[in-house]
Amino acid sequence: MLSNQSSDWVSRSLTSVWHPCTQMQHHESTPLIPVSHGRGAWLYGHDGRRYLDGISSWWVNLFGHANPRINAALRDQLDKLEHAMLAGFTHEPVIELSERLAALTGHRLGHAFYASDGASAVEIALKMSFHSWRNRGHAEKQEFVCLQGSYHGETIGALAVTDVALFKDAYGPLLRAAQTVMSPDARQARDGETAQDVARRAAQEVECLFEQKANKIAAIIVEPLVQCAAGMAMHDPLYLQLVRALCDRYGVHLILDEIAVGCGRTGTFFACEQAGIWPDFVTLSKGISGGYLPLSLVLTTDDVYQAFYSADVTRGFLHSHSYTGNPLACRAALATLDIFTEDDVLATNRAKAERITAALAPLREHARVKNFRQQGMIWAFDATDVDPAFSRRFFANATQQELLLRPIGSTVYLMPPYILSDDDIDLLAARTLAVFDQTIASQP
Ligand SMILES: Cc1ncc(COP(=O)(O)O)c(C=O)c1O
């Protein structure tokens, strides 16, 4: 009989599972943690230890693990329809979800195209942008623009508009070059400059590029308000307004990647609402299914949709994934949207965020912390003068203190599920401080 011992799960996993974003040899010194179950904000190990999920399991979980309302919706859906192909067929969950998402954009982005992972949604937005220009007689618009430090996923197309050397360099020969422009990251403010000044400076670079070659550019892709994988680099909403205006003036599509920042993470359901603008394409994934099932989608305008609508099959968007619009994933998303309405989540989060910010005050004041920042339900700060292994050492110390936290380089961040209790908040803040002090004190 197979054993349920924690150590057996570890050795079996290391033998047979190739873990993501991991140099597997690191597990010779960093233990793998086998999870047996989750409840609310907590994950529980097979060895009885528990971990407060301070980063929502890679930013996907909104309303806790094993959420009773999402579980009930999925159970109900399981007895009706687990999957049906979406070409030639349709079903209630995908229709209802598309209608509700369109309504959330005020029907500006009224057409939803589905995939599974975030990177696939990015691929779809890039392909749709290029193809819609081509269908309109602008086949020369083939280039894409991304921001410094951008991250849009790991597939070949998404990696081409990603600017993280660690993930990208090995695959350089396989990738189509994209244009990279200055990030509006407010930390780049020079003496006397505000975040808005940085936004203006960054937008000027976009303008210069568009002036030179907008006729060759299909789209610019931006992660609005917070470039998460860049180390929670935050910018002023003015940047989005300026880029929207430039896109309109020069005839370039604006793709907003809301895979991490959407679904209330920045304080509004879509981050772009804070700039009062809408893109030509928005990508969603991660939180949209409550963190339950792989679901991603692209919302786009009637204008783009009409560019494909034709008697000619080759003018259609002939892209597909087997699990496109999976009913279970869509039902999880509908249950997630229900929770947003029933619990007035955006308002509740505002109060919760204030409490979390107050609890983190000792870190904001810490002598080894700079650039403490917050946007909605995201908190981040940069540790000063740390060693290259800071992030791994912090992660290891955090697990000893019952926390799941994974700094990005020297940036420590919190992106918790929205359901933290007051006790969870106090524990998270106190232990993050303790782990930070411990990691700094033990620096080699
Ligand atoms: C902004 C952004 N875009 C795209 C992706 C890729 O999503 P996935 O990992 O589901 O492919 C991520 C993942 O972290 C992301 O943060």
- On whether the CB atoms of residues 157 and 231 are closer than 8 A, the answer is no
Looking at residue 189, what DSSP letter applies?
Answer: P
* Amino acid 126: pLDDT: 98
Binding site membership of 184 for ligand 1 (Cβ less than 6 Å):
no
Mean pLDDT over all residues of the chain? 97
- Say how many CA atoms lie within 13 Å of 276 toward its Cβ: 4
Give me the mean pLDDT over the 13-17 stretch. 97
CA distance 325 to 328: 9
CA distance 32 to 152: 27
Nearest to 180 by CA among 232, 129, 227, 238: 227
Binding site membership of 118 for ligand 1 (Cβ less than 6 Å):
yes
Query: What pairs with residue 369 in β-bridges?
Result: 383
CA distance 93 to 29: 45
CA 294 to centroid of ligand 1, rounded, Å: 11
Binding site membership of 256 for ligand 1 (Cβ less than 6 Å):
no
- On whether the CB atoms of residues 225 and 271 are closer than 8 A, the answer is yes
Nearest to 4 by CA among 36, 31, 32, 33: 36
Residue 256's SS3 state is strand
- On whether the CB atoms of residues 40 and 419 are closer than 8 A, the answer is yes
Query: What pairs with residue 52 in β-bridges?
Result: 42, 403
Confidence band, pLDDT 50/70/90 cuts, at residue 6: confident
Summarize the annotated binding site for substrate as residue ranges.
Answer: 58, 151, 286, 320, 406
Percent of the chain scoring above 90 in pLDDT? 98
Residue 285 Cα: closest atom of ligand 1: 10
Both tokens of residue 421? 């209790």
What CA–CA distances, in Å, run from 104 to 20, 97, 263, 275, 363? 33, 11, 11, 15, 36
Task: Pick from 255, 285, 408 the residue to mutate for probing ligand 1's pocket: most ligand atoms within 8 Å of its CB.
Answer: 285
Percent of the chain scoring above 70 in pLDDT? 99
* Amino acid 3: pLDDT: 59
CA distance 432 to 436: 6
Q: For 123-174, write each residue's pLDDT tens digit.
A: 999 999 999 999 999 999 999 999 999 999 999 999 999 999 999 999 999 9
* Amino acid 250: pLDDT: 98
CA distance 186 to 239: 11
Residue having the nearest C-alpha atom to atom 3 of ligand 1: 152
What CA–CA distances, in Å, run from 188 to 127, 165, 251, 349, 424? 32, 20, 29, 29, 33
**Domains of the chain with bracketed CATH:** 33-66+345-442 (3.90.1150.10), 70-343 (3.40.640.10)
Report yes or no on whether pTM surpasses 0.95. yes
48: left (phi over 0), alpha (psi -120 to 50) or beta: left
Q: For 334-377, write each residue's pLDDT tens digit.
A: 999 999 999 999 999 999 999 999 999 999 999 999 999 999 99
CA distance 259 to 175: 22
CA distance 43 to 57: 9
pLDDT at 398 over 90: yes
223: left (phi over 0), alpha (psi -120 to 50) or beta: beta
The amino acid that residue 362 corresponds to is P
CA 118 to centroid of ligand 1, rounded, Å: 5
CA distance 262 to 224: 9
* Amino acid 168: pLDDT: 96
CA 259 to centroid of ligand 1, rounded, Å: 6
Task: Pick from 255, 286, 292 the residue to mutate for probing ligand 1's pocket: most ligand atoms within 8 Å of its CB.
Answer: 286
Binding site membership of 153 for ligand 1 (Cβ less than 6 Å):
yes
* Amino acid 1: pLDDT: 42
